[in-house]
Amino acid sequence: MIIMDAKRGDWVRIHKTILNVGERAPNIPEDTQSVPLEMWDKGFLMNETANKGDLVEIETYIGRKVEGTLIEINPYWDHDYGKAVPELLYIGRQARELLEEGADNE
Amino acid sequence: MSNDRSFSAVMARKQEIMKKSVGIDYEIFESGSISFDYERMMKETGYSLKEIEEIQKQTSVGNTPLYELRNITKLARKYAEPGKGARIFIKDEASNPSGSFKARRAATAVYHAQRLGYKGVIAATSGNYGAAVASQAAMRGLKCIIVQECYDSRGVGQPEIIEKARACEAYGAEVVQLSVGPELFYSFLLLLEDTGYFNASLYTPFGIAGVETLGYELSMQFREQEGRDPDVVVITNAGGGNLTGTARGLIKAGALDTEIVGASVSLAGLHMASDTQFNKKSFTTGHTGFGIPFATWPDRSDVPRSAARPLRYIDRYVTVNQGSVFYMTELLAQVEGLERGPAGNTALAAAFKVAQELDQDQIVVVQETEYTGAGKHILPQLTFAKENGIEILIGDPSQEIPGKNIILPKDPGHLCIEELDLEKTRKSYIRNCITNNNVNKATAEDLAFLIADTKSNEGFVRAVLAELDIEVETEAK
């Protein structure tokens, strides 16, 4: 039996090119002209089975049917609170010190 | 319906799609020349303040608390002339259902969509407005699609925008994410056409009227608490709706002497539609990349006539650098115990300086805060900046170069604002009115419209028109 990446009903993410290079609006910067306009969307897989890279159809959360290339199964968010930014550490300490000194002009 | 789905064909159907999706025939307010009847449009297509209060109450929007920032005021006074340093207040709009003042705009838009019988709403936004529309749609049982400009061509997305996508999904919306480019509008039009949903544009009369309650509440809260209206309201400005709605609400309350100050993060030198510069900025809203183009030509928005017309209400416009806003965000948490999102603190950074020009018994109020969370927070935003080659420095923020570095003021005394020349902005707006309406003379009606729409006077508008070789017809048609 061949094992496929996803089956009908799986929650997936798709990708699609909306405008190819050459089809883009004329008055945009050159760097943007030279890349396609791309789209990403999520939904439940409509195809019986599919592999990443296949052209598939999904039903989005609100029930719209959209076609695109399957790129992720069970997509999730991984944005976070970033890394340490030591540059910020003086702000609170300095301000508290200034406040302790009392106001000059009151 | 076998419509042509090509870029040019869809853009050509723009007016028709818009009319169907917002339910307003903007034509009836047009004069055929430069002017259009703004107040009539606001009156006939919007809602009264009383009605909006009622609509917003239904979904628990508004009546947000007002806080006095005593420690930040104290710090500002340390760097002011003797006797100077107005009291600084902040209106905690983050306590709205979706975590920002945008809930006010969304509340009226979604209510209106439901009343007109639309099955769903669509909004094109990478900001807090998306979460606001999704949240309001969830409460009213409508379907919701949010269209975002999110990733560059490497597939790298701004952490702040990704967080907004997550929030929209949390409220049950479908999020269509796109790569950089103004052709987002093409996808947006196609979605409106395909679904028949309502265009919950930020710039409709009901969207803007939704913000009027913010200005009105401000006046009422200050009268109750301090016995008078605030002297200055500082408003973060991007598309102009926040400023327009707040100012209109203050006027409706009778707070006619309150000065309206707009504040934007300076992103001078960065092109908003550039794929390679998209991730060089650390602010995705509240910046000059929206603030200036929308002030000089408000009708560039996603509706034929924008109800957000900042020049009509603004008294002063200042810019702050990215570093100063991050600094104030950290300060707000550290000395006031309020952890809020960075973009909403743009006006706070400006207010810190504005307060120093005023007497100690005067009042400056920052009229919004926004929620903070993963991605939408100083740490991830500065981490992202570093990963995109931006240097984080501590020193003199006036030396910051957007896209190259972010400079945090080395102490509260180094925070700075820059004045924007409003005369120049008003002139550009008048020039755009001539060019975009393709006229070679102005009617008496146009003259009156331009005076009101730039909050200027007859002498100024006549002089600008003369400079542009535009003759003013003496008699109204």
Per-residue pLDDT tens over the stretch B320-336: 999 999 999 999 999 99
Question: Does residue B197 belong to any structural domain of this protein?
Answer: yes
Question: Does residue B200 belong to any structural domain of this protein?
Answer: yes
The CATH code of the domain that includes B34 is 3.40.50.1100
Question: Does residue A105 belong to any structural domain of this protein?
Answer: no
Q: Which two tokens stand for residue B349?
A: 């950074």
Q: Are residues B313 and B456 in the same domain?
A: no
Question: Does residue B2 belong to any structural domain of this protein?
Answer: no
Number of domains forming the structure of chain B: 3
Question: Does residue B432 belong to any structural domain of this protein?
Answer: yes
Q: Which residues of B182-204 are buried (b: 16+ CB within 10 A; e: fewer)?
A: bbbbbbbbbbbbebebbbbbbbb
Select from B163, B183, B204 the last residue of a domain: B204
Per-residue pLDDT tens over the stretch B192-213: 999 999 999 999 999 999 999 9
Q: Are residues B248 and B175 in the same domain?
A: no
Distance CA B406, CA B60 (A): 38
Q: Are residues B198 and B213 in the same domain?
A: no
Number of domains forming the structure of chain A: 1
Question: Does residue A62 belong to any structural domain of this protein?
Answer: yes
Per-residue pLDDT tens over the stretch B108-138: 999 999 999 999 999 999 999 999 999 999 9
Q: Do B74 and A31 touch (CB under 8 A)?
A: no
Q: Are residues B255 and B314 in the same domain?
A: yes
Q: Do A85 and B383 touch (CB under 8 A)?
A: yes
Q: Do B382 and A39 touch (CB under 8 A)?
A: no
Range of the domain at A81: 6-100
Select from B155, B181, B204 the last residue of a domain: B204
Question: Does residue A29 belong to any structural domain of this protein?
Answer: yes
Distance CA B178, CA A99 (A): 46
Q: Are residues B182 and B300 in the same domain?
A: no
B335 closest CB neighbour out of A61, A62, A95: A95
Q: Are residues B408 and B378 in the same domain?
A: yes
Question: Does residue B164 belong to any structural domain of this protein?
Answer: yes
User: How close are the terminal C-alpha atoms of chain A, in Å?
Assistant: 81
* Mean pLDDT over each residue of chain B, to the nearest integer: 95
Q: Are residues B257 and B163 in the same domain?
A: no
CA dihedral B23, B28, B32, B35 (to 10 degrees): -90
Question: Does residue A106 belong to any structural domain of this protein?
Answer: no
Q: Are residues B257 and B370 in the same domain?
A: yes
Question: Does residue A1 belong to any structural domain of this protein?
Answer: no
Q: Are residues B382 and B324 in the same domain?
A: yes
Range of the domain at B380: 62-98+206-419
Q: Cβ–Cβ contacts within 10 Å for residue B45, how many?
A: 20
Per-residue pLDDT tens over the stretch B1-33: 558 999 999 999 998 999 899 988 899 999 999
Q: Are residues B87 and B146 in the same domain?
A: no
Per-residue pLDDT tens over the stretch A11-33: 999 999 999 999 999 889 999 99
Antiparallel, parallel or unpaired: β B316-320 and B417-419:
antiparallel
In angstroms, the separation between the Cα of residue B290 and the nearest Cα of chain A is 16
Select from B174, B204, B234 the last residue of a domain: B204
% of chain B with per-residue pLDDT over 70: 99
Q: Cβ–Cβ contacts within 10 Å for residue B116, how many?
A: 10
Q: Is B229 helix (H, G, I), strand (E, B) or coil?
A: coil
* Mean pLDDT over each residue of chain A, to the nearest integer: 94
Q: Are residues B392 and B435 in the same domain?
A: no
Question: Does residue B80 belong to any structural domain of this protein?
Answer: yes
Q: Are residues B158 and B233 in the same domain?
A: no
Contacts A95 to B, Cβ<8 Å: 71, 75, 331, 334-335, 412
Q: Which residues contact B151 (CB under 8 A, 6 or more apart)?
A: A38, A40, B157, B177, B178, B179, B180
